[in-house]
A and B are shown apart, each in its own frame.
Chain A
Amino acid sequence: MRPLSLKGHDRALTRVRFNREGDLLFSAAKNKAPCVWFTENGERIGTYEGHNGVVWDLDVSWDTKSMATASGDNSVRLWDTETGKCLNAVNMPTPARSVSMSCSGNLVAYTTMKMTKNLSTLCVVDIRDPEQMLLENNMPMFRAQLDHGAVASLFSHLDDKVVIGNEAGVLLQYDVRNPDMPINANEKTHKYAINDLQLSPCGAFIIAACRDKTASLLDVNSLDQLKQYRSERPVNSACVSPIRDHICLGGGEDAMQVTQTAVSAGHFEAKLYHLVFEEEFARFKGHFGPINTMAFHPSGTTLATGGEDGYVRVQEFDDDYLEFKYDF
């Protein structure tokens, strides 16, 4: 199948995600309305109207019934995916930067940015508790204050552990029952802002994408660095293949400098690496700006990428990909 190039957002993409079955593709961008698409043909089904600012992140529950979004309009919203209706909106004093739904889909973790007196926070709310889902919510079930703003958050383990990666390159893991102290920390692996955290489909590893031009594979239980993948440019997003020992990462020359560089020098390609040997073996061209976000389709043969250029590309791998083998 030819790659699909989806133009539904007029601004830079911030997040693409497949639902668990892989038939739907959700995308969020710096414009106000997240979109949902058919993976098969790239047709847009609809948009989610309600936010009044950048939508930084979205996550879909395991059963695709609800979706959570984090926005620069200082709110986190919960949506009915099928009808596009906004179920709840939780306001915060500062913009929400990332959002993650738990294994059960009942808990939503989100991070907020630091602004003036308000410190950056990591909060978890239970969507079943109407108290916590009030518009002016001051009572999340979990609230931890952070020293640095966190751009990425992720439920790493069932409904009880959340990992965040902050702008200083530190990874922290919290137990949702204890907001006072993180249970694990990794300060060594990265030195610059962590842009993205994703769980490997098997649930055993976390992959972190960092501005320091690397992505790293971390042990989900201890946050220890297991592997590191070097790229020539800042990495904005990385994901692990559900079927093979491969990872894919994307990024590129900083958006600020894009106008000064030739496309070939910008490294706007998605790069495939071997999960274990850390070697790059293939690239996908297509975007003409940095890749901001990417996701593997659950089948492992399709990849969705969202770029600074405002396009979502859905790329199906050719048959050679499945035949490609590393000798060992």
Chain B
Amino acid sequence: MVEAEINNKENEEVEPNFDDPPGYNDPISDEELLGDVLRQEPLIDEYEENCLVVFGIPSVTKEKLAKLQTVMSKILNGINPNHVIEYPSSGDGSTKGCLFVEWENKETAQYALTVLNGYKLDKVHTFSAITIADMKNMPQPDENWEPPKPNEYANVGDLWSWMQNPRCRDQFSVQYENSAGPTVSIFWHVKGHEPEVAEDGSKPNWTESVFKWTPHGSYLATIHNRGIALWGGPKFQRYMRFEHLNVQYFDFSPCETYMVTYAPSNAKWDEDENCLQLWDVRTGEMRKGFSLYALTLRNELEGWPFFQWSHDDKFFACLKVPEKDKLEKQKKVNGIAVYDAETLQLVSNRYIVIENIRTFSWAPGGKNIIAYYSESTEQLPAEFGLISMPTGEKLRSARIYNVAEAQMFWQESGMRLAVHNLRYNKRTFKENGEVKFVGAMTSHIEIFELTGKKDVALMNLPLSEAFINFGWEPNGDKFCVLIGNQAKATPFVYRIDAMKHTPVCLGKLDAGVQLNTVSFAPQGGWLVVMACMSTGGNILFIDTNGQEAKRTSITEHPGFNKGYWDPTGRYFVSCCTVGCRVGADLGYRLYTFQGRELLRKNLERMMQFKWRPRPPVKLSEQKVKEIRKNLKTTSAKFDREDNEEKVKASQEVIDKRRKIMLAFDIIRKKNHALIEKQKDERKRLRNGVDTEADLQNEDLVEETITVALSTQKTLAVLSEEDERD
């Protein structure tokens, strides 16, 4: 380099002046002179393809430029040492936070783009890169563009105010119709009393179709033509609005950080880039729009929720886009797309590949694990497996032969997974690809145990009858499996014993009635097995706390279609909502956890009943111990409070009744006085007989009438009566 410089100097000194004299008109064009060289000159388009703009570079002062250059050179040399860097700087010499890199050809530039775009330098600096050609195609920003103004903070008060109820009461909300039209009302549940409407908690036309509580119960979400609205605080003021025209479905992530909304695209065959939208609940900002077509190759939604969330809101996932073969025919889905909720990128920039995947589901607690079920093919048996995220490591998989159908049930704690699989004897493939199963099917349950420190253990439980439903105790080690047929179902309660290879049966609760749903209380121990959408409407309450599972009670709510535990597991509600059966009594019935009915309420056109969920509260071990120890004194206190309340309430009722009675008695006295006046008139009309005279004062003649009950028929009717009574 030094030598070259010297040469340069020499050149400057020695070189004579070749410049044309002023006014000289060159008769030979450049083309004639060096046409072949000029033709090699790169076009501006080509150049732009080779040149990248990288943003997100630390902005440094002149003094630190050298340091930045070494850092950047190191990165860029790693891609390809043949490049030229240009750091644009502002007036005082500090860099502008971006740079231009020129690569030798398009291919290198493309490779560099994939590396540099999204490159994380440190915590604050993430690069974004783009070729100049692409940048030129970007639309011009609006001339009048202004930085968005921060939204005014809507202070709706304490979002968890309802948790601080002195009597630890729970709220529930109901959508029904009253004189004001369709109404959503939020009630306090007061044991053994009429529910009380929460402050400002009842509004007509609050929502256009349905309402939802967020998973932690902080907000009430309502749906409108313009979008979604969230309401919270002690007076249910509006907290946030999310504008999404014609929104149809919405859904929250488990920690209520994000919300996903869906609106169908306007034209049926049009692709809507933003038909699925991901929102930040706290800021109201739309994070990203997704095109349904790009994700599924279809324009119609197949099911909701579309995205499945990990329990800590870190990831969300959906099935991978189906690939197309050479004939443009869709192949079977072969993977899961897992996105990082923070960056909105695919985790590790790739799909998780699982051939023939049918369904998957996140563990609802514990570690971030995905369970999947991939269907059997002609050659391969079905596979069930667990994948740890974000590493993508397969924790355990099991291949099972002859599986026709399967369902997965995670335990709420994320410690166990049960898989019900229906196995066939023989199957045949028809020409059109349809599969036909021949012979009887058998039901099995496989249980994956993630509790152990080492590997994931696997247990098998064959079922003696057809499977109907399954339910885990949310945090314990028990589960209930319902087997049987349409007319008669039998719930079995099992406990998983770490020392044994198969679950231990705690009891068979033969009720001899139709049942179809298992629902464990949120705190465990108590269990409800019910028959939703049936004429009988049986509800079976079971106690599994002891050595043996016992039935505490069985009740009937004809035609009910939904049953819910309250978030504390103290009460259970069964309800009949619109759409369960024509002519059924819409309304709800409330029971204690043991099945004693507390309240029965009929509501016109009741559409929804929802307990307000509670956020998870973790008490320290010590605190729990303390509470256990003081249970006797505290429960005595509660009993006293309950009693006081009862006395107060009944006094109120008595006062109210007294008033009603007084008002009624005035009318009654008035009318009786009128009637009394007409006594003579009545006597005259009845030929002078006083029919109101006391019967006892009359001379009654006792007559004995002997009646012979002789005919056989009459006897038969009477004996039938005997039996009935």
Is A326 at the interface (CB under 8 A from chain B)?
Answer: yes
One of B318-326, B387-395, B396-404, B672-680 at the interface: B672-680
B642 at the interface (CB under 8 A from A): no
Known: A43-B707, A203-B675. A253 touches B650 (CB 8 A): no
A264 x B668 contact (CB < 8 A): no
> What residues of chain B lie closer than 8 Å to A184, measured between beta carbons?
none
Considering only residues 645-677 of chain B, those with a C-beta below 8 Å from chain A are 650, 653-654, 657-658, 660-661, 664, 667-668, 671-672, 674-675
Let me know if A5 and B721 touch, CB within 8 A: yes
How far does the Cβ of A275 sit from chain B's closest Cβ, in whole Å?
A: 8
Q: Are B717 and A264 in contact (CB under 8 A)?
A: no
B473 on interface, CB distance cutoff 8 Å: no
Contact of B685 among A7, A103, A221, A326 (CB under 8 A): A103
B353 to chain A, nearest CB (A): 52
Q: How far is the CA of A153 from the CA of B530 in the complex (A)?
A: 48
B720 to chain A minimum Cβ distance, whole angstroms, is 8
Q: Kindly provide the distance from the CB of B104 to the nearest chain A CB, expressed in whole angstroms.
A: 82
B583–A253 CB distance below 8 A? yes
Q: B686 contacts which of A4, A7, A62, A326 (Cβ < 8 Å)?
A: A62
Establish whether residues A232 and B602, one from each chain, have CB atoms under 8 Å apart when the complex forms.
yes
Per a CB cutoff under 8 Å, which of A102, A226, A232, A328 touches B661? A328
Contact partners of A105 in chain B: CB under 8 A: 686
Q: What's the least CB distance linking B659 to chain A, in Å?
A: 9
- Which residues of chain A have C-beta atoms less than 8 A from B330's C-beta? none
| A126 lies within 8 A of chain B by Cβ | no
Inter-subunit contact B717/A5 (CB<8 Å)? yes
Once the chains bind, are B674 and A327 in contact (CB under 8 Å)? no
B725 within 8 A of A: yes
Asked if A219 and B671 sit within 8 Å, CB to CB, the answer is: yes
B682 nearest in chain A by CB position: A103
Q: Are B536 and A262 in contact (CB under 8 A)?
A: yes
Q: Which of B602, B667, B672, B686 is close to A63, meaning CB atoms less than 8 Å apart? A: B686
- Which residues of chain A from 248 to 289 have any CB-CB distance to chain B below 8 Å in the complex? 253, 257, 260-262, 264-265, 276-277
The interface residues of chain A lying within 8 Å CB-to-CB of B714 are 43
Asked if B681 CB lies within 8 Å of chain A CBs, one says: yes
**A158 in contact with B650 given A261-B583, A327-B657 (CB within 8 Å):** no
Residues of B within 8 A of A220 (CB): 671
Q: CB distance A262 to B658 under 8 Å? A: no
- Residues B709 and A43 in contact, CB atoms below 8 Å apart: yes
Q: How far is the CA of A260 from the CA of B559 in the complex (A)?
A: 12
Does any Cβ of B come within 8 Å of A309's Cβ? Answer: no
Cα–Cα distance between A327 and B722 once the two chains are bound (Å): 36
Q: A226-B667, A261-B583 are in contact. Are A327 and B650 (CB under 8 A)?
A: yes
- A41: contacting residue among B668, B707, B721, CB under 8 A: B707
- In this complex, how many residues of chain B approach chain A with their Cβ under 8 Å: the count is 39
For B585, the chain A residues whose CB sits under 8 A away are 232, 265
A205 located at the interface, meaning its Cβ lies under 8 Å from any Cβ of chain B in the complex: yes
Does A20 reach chain B (CB closer than 8 Å)?
yes
Check A262 against B558 for contact (C-beta < 8 Å).
yes
| A232 contacts across to B, CB distance below 8 A | 585, 602
How far, in whole Å, are A282 and B202 apart by their CA atoms in the complex? 32
Min CB gap B603→A, angstroms: 11
Are the C-beta atoms of B685 and A159 separated by less than 8 Å?
yes
A43 to B691, CA, bound (A): 27
B556 at the interface (CB under 8 A from A): yes
Q: Does B584 sit at the interface, judged by CB under 8 A?
A: yes
From B684, which residue of chain A is reached at the shortest CB distance?
A104
Which of A62, A104, A219, A261 is within 8 Å of B667, CB to CB?
Answer: A219
What CA separation (Å) do A270 and B708 show in the bound complex?
32
A103 touches B686 (CB 8 A): yes
- Residues of chain B in range 257-277 having any CB-CB distance to chain A below 8 Å: none
The residue in chain B whose Cβ has the minimal distance to the Cβ of A44 is B714
- A262 / chain B contacts, CB cutoff of 8 Å: 535-536, 558
B269 CB to nearest A CB, Å: 43
- In the bound assembly, the distance between CA atoms of A43 and B706 in angstroms comes to 12
Given A5-B717, A226-B667, also A277-B709 (CB < 8 A): no
When the two chains form the complex, which single residue of A5, A62, A203, A328 contacts B657, counting CB atoms closer than 8 Å? A328
Interface 1/0 per residue, A76-105 and B, CB below 8 Å: 000000000000000000000000001111
Contact A276 B672 (CB under 8 A): no
User: Which residues from A are CB-within-8-Å of B536?
Assistant: 262
Residues of chain A with a CB closer than 8 A to B657's CB: 276-277, 326-328
Task: Name the CB-closest residue of B to A267.
Answer: B585
Complex Cα spacing A62 to B687, Å? 11
Chain A CB within 10 A, most for which of B661, B671, B721: B671
Q: Which of B535, B668, B674, B722 has the most CB of A within 10 A?
A: B668
Contacts of B147-181 to chain A: CB distance below 8 A: none
Residues of B within 8 A of A264 (CB): 556, 558
CB distance from A147 to the nearest CB of B (A): 27
Chain B residues whose C-beta falls within 8 Å of the C-beta of A38 in the assembled complex: 707
Q: Is A202 in contact with B675, judged by CB distance below 8 angstroms?
A: yes
CA distance A104 to B685 in the complex (A): 5
Q: Answer whether residue A3 sits at the interface, using C-beta atoms and an 8 A cutoff.
A: yes
Given A62-B691, A158-B678, A202-B672 in contact, is the A276-B661 Cβ separation under 8 Å? yes
Residue of chain B at shortest CB distance from A45: B707
Establish whether residues B672 and A204, one from each chain, have CB atoms under 8 Å apart when the complex forms: yes
Q: Give B525-571 interface residues, CB cut-off 8 Å to A.
A: 535-536, 556, 558-559
Which residues of chain A come closer than 8 Å to B671, judged between CB atoms?
203-205, 219-221
The residues in A between 41 and 75 inclusive whose CB is less than 8 angstroms from any CB of B are 41, 43, 62-63
Chain B nearest Cβ from A310, distance in angstroms = 12
Residues of B within 8 A of A188 (CB): none
Q: Does A177 contact B (CB under 8 A)?
A: no
Contact A276-B717, Cβ < 8 Å, known A2-B725, A20-B691, A104-B685: no
Bound CA–CA A219/B671 (angstroms)? 8
In the complex, residue of chain A having the shortest beta-carbon distance to the beta carbon of B708:
A43
Does the CB pair B559–A265 fall under 8 Å?
A: yes
Chain A residue nearest in CB terms to B675: A203
Q: How far is the CB of B71 from chain A (nearest CB, A)?
A: 77
Chain A 151-188 against B: per-residue CB contact (8 Å), 1 yes, 0 no?
00000001100000000000000000000000000000
By a CB distance below 8 angstroms, the chain B residues around A265 are: 535, 558-559, 584-585
Question: In the complex where A3-B725, A253-B583 touch, is A277 in contact with B559 (Cβ < 8 A)?
Answer: no
Contacts of A63 in B (CB 8 A): 686, 689
**In the bound complex, CA of A272 to CA of B678 (Å):** 31
Residues of B within 8 A of A20 (CB): 691
A205 to B664, CA, bound (A): 12
**A226 to B681 alpha-carbon distance, docked (Å):** 27
Of the candidates B602, B672, B685, B721, which one forms a contact with A158 in the assembled complex, judged by CB atoms under 8 Å apart? B685
In the complex, the chain A residue whose C-beta lies closest to that of B691 is: A62
Complex CA gap A4/B725 in Å reads 10
- CB–CB B658/A158 < 8 A: no
- Contact between B681 and A158, CB atoms less than 8 A apart: yes
Would you list which residues of chain B between 170 and 200 have a CB under 8 Å from chain A?
none
Closest residue of chain A to B657, judged by CB?
Answer: A328
**Which of B535, B675, B722 has a CB less than 8 Å from the CB of A204?**
B675
- The distance in angstroms between the C-alpha atoms of A53 and B537, with both chains bound, is 41
A226 to B661, CA, bound (A): 12
**Cβ contacts A to B, 27 pairs, < 8 Å:** A2-B721, A2-B725, A3-B721, A3-B725, A20-B691, A43-B707, A104-B685, A104-B686, A104-B687, A158-B682, A202-B672, A204-B672, A221-B671, A226-B664, A232-B585, A232-B602, A257-B583, A262-B536, A264-B556, A264-B558, A265-B558, A265-B559, A265-B585, A277-B661, A327-B650, A327-B653, A328-B654
What are the 6 closest A-B residue pairs judged by CB atoms, nearest first?
A204-B671, A104-B685, A328-B657, A265-B558, A276-B664, A262-B535
Binding site for A on B (CB under 8 A): 535-536, 556, 558-559, 583-585, 602, 650, 653-654, 657-658, 660-661, 664, 667-668, 671-672, 674-675, 678, 681-682, 685-687, 689, 691, 707, 709, 714, 717, 721-722, 724-725
8 further A-B pairs in the complex, CB-CB below 8 A; given A2-B721, A62-B686, A327-B654: A104-B687, A159-B685, A204-B668, A204-B671, A204-B672, A265-B535, A327-B650, A327-B653
